[in-house]
Amino acid sequence: MHSTLTRFCRAAVALAMGALLALPSAAPAGAAPQGPPPRPTAPPSPDPSLTAHPLTAAASPVDNPLKGFARFYSPGANQNSGYPHSLTWTYFGLSEIMTNAANCGSYDWSLVDAALNESATYGNQVAMRFYMEYPGGSGTHPANAIPHCFDGHVTYRTNANWGTTSPDYDSAYLLTALQNFIAAFGARYDGDPRVGFVHTGLIGLWGEWHTWPYDTDTADGLPNYMPTDAHGAQILQAFDNAFNTTKLEVRYPGAGGSAASGFDIGYHDDSFCFREGSPLAGVTLPTSLGGASYSQLQRALDAGVENKWITSSMGGEVRPEIQSRAFSFWPGGSGDVDDMKACIELEHTTWKMNEQSAGYSSTDANVAAAVRLMGYDLGVTDSYYTGTASGTAKVGVRIANNGVAPFYYPWTVSLGLKNSAGTVVKSWDTSWDLRKVMPLRIRSFPDWNVGADPTYLDYGHPQYYDTSVSLSGVANGDYQWVMRVKNPLEAVNAGAKKLRFANAAQNADGWLGLGPVTVGTSTDTVAPSAPTGLAASATTSGSTALTWNAATDNVGVTSYQVLRNGTAVGTTATTSYTDTGLSAGTAYSYTVKARDAAGNSSAASSALSVTTQAAGTPSATVEAEASGNTRTGTAVIAACATCSGGSKVGYVGNGATLTFHQVGDGTAGTHTLTISYLSAEARTATVQVNGGAATSVGFPATADWNTVGTKTVDVILTSGNNTITLANASGWAPDFDKISVGGTTTTSATVEAEATGNTRTGTAVIAACATCSGGSKVGYVGNGATLTFNNVAGGTGGTRTLTISYLTAEARTATVQVNGGPATSVGFPATADWNTVGTKTVTVTLAAGANTITLADPGGWAPDVDKITVTG
């Protein structure tokens, strides 16, 4: 099948030359954007008779099944090379299946089965398409794949531009033959565990439902080779009739007169997130975000199908010309790479062909962030059960989706019990339907008029499921509840890629740990050791955050009991607890006891005396887990041995926030805020002080999820108590250890581009940058978007040398404007690549004290900016 990138690039060249300009059909009369979809009904609340067990969040794997990138099928080649993935893409010529020249109803499926079987050995599902016209084809992909049984029955025409033969797609003989083929195709492969997605194909060049330049635009004097809308709709109807399980996709929202809008057929964007033309215009994003009138999402808006993703998958291909660098500018874009994050979020992308992902580093944080955002990203926030059970046990889970699309298949969810050796001794299938777990938030189109871009709307809910299972045949003892999702491909190959959750307790075997349980009466009579290292990590006037070292046990510690002045005040499954409702300026004595699943209790820890702060006293250092802080949504406290207080707060982002209260050192003014964080990948978060404007800050990756790093930003605080809120409206922020504020500052001679005190407008966006001095840069400046450095030190005023640290793989220009004065155009030579920092010096006149310096380019793109420095 498709063995080289070169041939496929020729398809992309065709589109760049104008094929996209040929809309296959107009939108239905009166069609308009659907607008925000109604929010699904909230699920039932967890069973109050069950105990909640919070699960720690972690990054999900990037090769989860049925999402992310697809690589091209090449017989005999290693399918699991390059960037991790779980999908394989291939074409088949229709003549390779309909091989009997005398009988159009005879089918040879051997090529299809060979590709499916080989891909299954690698644990991968296949996405595929059939075609009849393939420009520049070869023995691998025959250029003319029209079955010979059409000869003498169907009129053939020549596409002189591509040297291909186009059958008469309106031929009654052809339409009948195609509908019969589709019926046989579905009868054989619908629901086949080896198949992930099917593109409807068959029509036009490469099966992409266009025949440019022989298309509906007949003003060029060339005839139209496309079928009528009515006949295109017949083909789509045949696919919808034949496939009830396997997800279908068609190239254009307007195909067949927008017939797919009434079928369970999604869309397939074959030029994903590319910008073309002069001036550059996007071919995915709508016109409201700089897209062309013929862009994929503009067509979806015109047809009123922009919310089709709720039931039908969205696939396609990252445009080949940009594949090697498509994610270098994440989350934005540059040049012919459009705003990648916006493309994924608004199209609700689940998967894309991306052959050049073979060259991506498996540790590329930008790529990982994009892949995790694509499709589903499921995490279990809590499990629900009682610590002991016998006879019948009820188990529940709450699952959240932080991706952009649902999981589209009814895969079976199973519960199990693992013994101390890690063996699953019994399992039960549930009726839980993962397709109900919708994305928590969705990005709105500017066309919906619900807020400035980007605006994110609450949509899905964390979905609660529970079921009762019989423990008959399970020996009394101590176990762990586990859960997994069965990939049907495991029936073909036990090594099929497993669907895994974004949780720390997720195992590579597919089983997710939900927590310990004792079945029957335990024979365990050994008590845990007493906890040690009891300490107060953060104390306010009304609360104290306690941490301690984990106790040990012969089976396993299940909980800790916290005692205040000898009286139990709370129980926790972690090694931290925040005691609230305390009196200001009061001393308290704390001890902690450990318990195991059998109910054995340890001796008390050594006592710790804690005195709360006097009322209203601000603190210069506040732990993330401090009891006075506020957490919303999925934000959760988790144990952290490397953190200063023994705990951290994770799962902040995608609407969940962490607010630090009573922050300050008693002085007003600009302070240096140091944020201690952990993140194995580059992430961003917004910093909001006292409810003011939120500023985006980039956090470079630390060595792993157990290594603490720091990020400093300037903030303006009052002399009293301040609140600082960390969030990320559309993705995950890093995990947070603590924050601390330093002394007041005035102006700075060196200012990072991503500094919180700066101002960005338009498309200007902060992006991770490993080679930049602060670990971040600002890109997408220009074409109206600006970057303003505030509080730039001018000393006593006068002429100064301004050094601009920048990155650009091509020569660019930018204007430099000081304190709102005249703008001066400056040329920036190309650096080696987009990861190499260069410098450009400019002479400027600054005022005494603080100054503003604005970088812009009203007629094009400026370079990416690392920082500025003033000397002299």
Q: Residue 13 pLDDT more than 50?
A: no
In the 3-class helix/strand/coil scheme, how is 585-600 assigned residue by residue? CCEEEEEEEEEECCCC
What percent of the chain shows pLDDT beyond 90? Answer: 69
Q: pLDDT category, 137, cuts 50, 70, 90?
A: confident
Q: pLDDT category, 583, cuts 50, 70, 90?
A: confident
Q: What is the CATH number of the domain that holds 606?
A: 2.60.40.10
- By C-alpha distance, which of 211, 197, 212 is closest to 250? 197
What residues pair up with 594 in beta bridges, in sequence order? Answer: 560
Q: Is 6 a member of any domain?
A: no
Q: Is 734 a member of any domain?
A: yes
- Could you tell me if 386 and 504 lie in one domain? yes
CA distances from 308 to 41, 260, 460, 820 (A): 18, 10, 15, 46
- Could you tell me if 508 and 632 lie in one domain? no
- Could you tell me if 549 and 600 lie in one domain? yes
- Could you tell me if 755 and 863 lie in one domain? yes
Per-residue pLDDT at 580: 81
Per-residue pLDDT at 21: 32
Q: What is the mean pLDDT of residues 17-27?
A: 34
> Kindly report the CA angle at 741 between 736 and 745, in degrees rounded to 5?
135
Summarised one tens digit per residue, pLDDT across range 644-684 is 888 899 999 988 899 998 898 887 777 889 999 999 888 99
Per-residue pLDDT at 24: 34
Q: Which helix (H) or strand (E) holds 368?
A: helix 365-373
Q: Is 220 a member of any domain?
A: no
Q: Is 593 a member of any domain?
A: yes
Q: Is 725 a member of any domain?
A: yes
Q: Is 813 a member of any domain?
A: yes
- Could you tell me if 606 and 628 lie in one domain? no
Boundary of a domain, candidates 564, 596, 613 = 613
Q: Residue 503 pLDDT more than 90?
A: yes
Is residue 684 within 8 A of residue 733, CB to CB? The reply is yes
Q: What is the mean pLDDT of residues 41-65?
A: 93
- Calpha distance 605→586 (Å, rounded): 21
Q: What is the mean pLDDT of residues 758-787?
A: 87
State which of 40-49, 349-358, 639-648, 841-850 shows the largest mean pLDDT. Answer: 349-358
Tokens 């009515």, residue located: 230
Judged by DSSP in three states, 870 sits in: strand
How many structural domains comprise the chain? 4
Summarised one tens digit per residue, pLDDT across range 532-546 is 999 986 666 677 889
Per-residue pLDDT at 25: 35
Per-residue pLDDT at 23: 33
Q: Residue 19 pLDDT more than 50?
A: no
- Calpha distance 258→254 (Å, rounded): 4
User: Which tokens hold the place of 734?
Assistant: 């890093």
Q: Is 156 a member of any domain?
A: no
Q: Residue 614 pLDDT more than 70?
A: no
Q: pTM for this structure?
A: 0.66
Boundary of a domain, candidates 582, 613, 644 = 613
Q: What is the CATH number of the domain that holds 624?
A: 2.60.120.260
Is residue 528 within 8 A of residue 602, CB to CB? The reply is yes
In the 3-class helix/strand/coil scheme, how is 547-566 assigned residue by residue? EEECCCCCCCEEEEEEEECC
Q: Pick the more confident residue, 151 or 598.
A: 151
- Could you tell me if 571 and 599 lie in one domain? yes
Q: Pick the more confident residue, 553 or 130.
A: 130
674-685 burial code (b ≥16 CB/10 A, e <16): ebbbbbbbbbbb
User: Which tokens hold the place of 836?
Assistant: 């190499």
- Could you tell me if 588 and 606 lie in one domain? yes
DSSP per-residue codes, 687-752:
EEETT--EEEEEE---SSTT--EEEEEEEEE-SS-EEEEEE-TTSBPPEEEEEEEEEEE--BSEEE
Q: Is 607 a member of any domain?
A: yes
- Calpha distance 168→190 (Å, rounded): 28
Q: Residue 616 pLDDT more than 70?
A: no
- Could you tell me if 428 and 489 lie in one domain? yes
> Kindly report the CA angle at 680 between 692 and 346, in degrees rounded to 5?
60
Per-residue pLDDT at 576: 86
- Calpha distance 803→871 (Å, rounded): 8
- Could you tell me if 843 and 823 lie in one domain? yes
Domain limits for position 817: 750-871
Q: For the beta carbon of residue 161, count every other beta carbon within 10 angstroms.
A: 16
Tokens 């397939």, residue located: 268
- Could you tell me if 733 and 765 lie in one domain? no
Tell me the pLDDT of the chain averaged across its residues: 90
- Could you tell me if 385 and 515 lie in one domain? yes
Q: Pick the more confident residue, 691 or 676.
A: 676
Boundary of a domain, candidates 613, 641, 673 = 613
- Could you tell me if 650 and 627 lie in one domain? yes
Q: What is the mean pLDDT of residues 52-65?
A: 94
Instruction: Round the CA-based radius of gyration of the chain to a whole number and report it.
Output: 30
